[in-house]
Structures are given as C-alpha cells and as structure tokens.
Amino acid sequence: MEIRRYTKEDKEEITKMVSEILREMFNGNPEEFKILKEFNVTKDYIYYLVVVIGKKIVGVGALKKLKDRKVRIKRLYVMEDYRRRGIAQKILNQLIRFAREQNFKQILFNTYPTMEHARRFHKRNGFVEIISNDPYQIHLAKKL
C-alpha cells in the first residue's frame, strides 16, 4: 500500500471511484446531494492524498483551507472491498498531522445522515458534532 499526493493524472480514476461509492451510499442517486460537481481540485485544496494498492486507487482524502486557521476534510473515501483494513485511519492520521504541522487550529468534517459509519469513525477520532443551519448534513469539528 502506498499513500501519496494527488496528481492531475489521478482525476479520472478518482472521479469514477468516488461516484461508485456515492451511488452505493445514496442508493444510486448521489446527484440530489450535489456532490459530484465538487470533483475539481482548487487552490484551496492544500493537501490531497490517494491510496494505491497495486496500480489501483482505493482511497482518497483531502484538506480544504478555510478562514481563521481552519481546514475541512474533503473526500475521505475508501472503496468497499478495501474497508476495515485501517486505510481510512491512515489517511485521517496524515491529514491531521499535516494540519497540525501547518499550524491550523481546527479541522472540520461534514457528512450526511446516511453515512452513519463516517460520523462514528470521526467521533472515535475526537471529533464532536457542532451546530449547523444545514438540515442535510452533519457537521463535526476537532481542535488541533
């Protein structure tokens, strides 16, 4: 297993992988959540990791820079056949380590009610739910 930085050549494979994961999570219809339009990597994505096993990308995780020394975790996904092997934990650990090294003060994460496993995973890693005006997402935060 290799965890490395994202390159432009990864975009097509990642888009396909995440689309499959979202279809699974949202019963074939992730478009209603407007998630798929967010695949573009912008200058605000300061750290983007891919996990490769063999020649296949099996997981991703990114950080997006926000205001006030905060970052948001974006796209923390692992393909179904590769879950429960500690891959998401390794990605999260590297994202947190990078955020601390860059002196960010807080790391945020949003998830959907259908992604209960993601909420439990982040809570086990010290994230707490925070109040939000968004009825479609659950917001969590962790002080660094």
**What digits encode the pLDDT tens for the residues 5-55?**
999 899 889 888 888 887 777 776 655 555 555 555 566 789 999 999 999
For the chain, the structural domain boundaries read 2-143
pLDDT of residue 105: 97
Residues 6 or more apart whose CB falls under 8 angstroms from that of 66 comprise 72, 108
pLDDT in tens, 87-102: 999 999 999 999 999 9
**Can you tell me which residue has the tokens 């601390």?**
100
Which stretch, 28-37, 92-101, 111-120, 127-136, has highest mean pLDDT? 92-101
Unique residue bearing structure tokens 């496993």: 117
Per-residue burial over 27-58, b if 16 or more Cβ lie within 10 Å, else e, is: eeebeeeebeeeeebeeebebbbbbeeeeebb
Cα three-residue angle 91-33-24, rounded to 5 degrees: 60
The fold of the 2-143 domain, in CATH, is: Aminopeptidase (3.40.630)
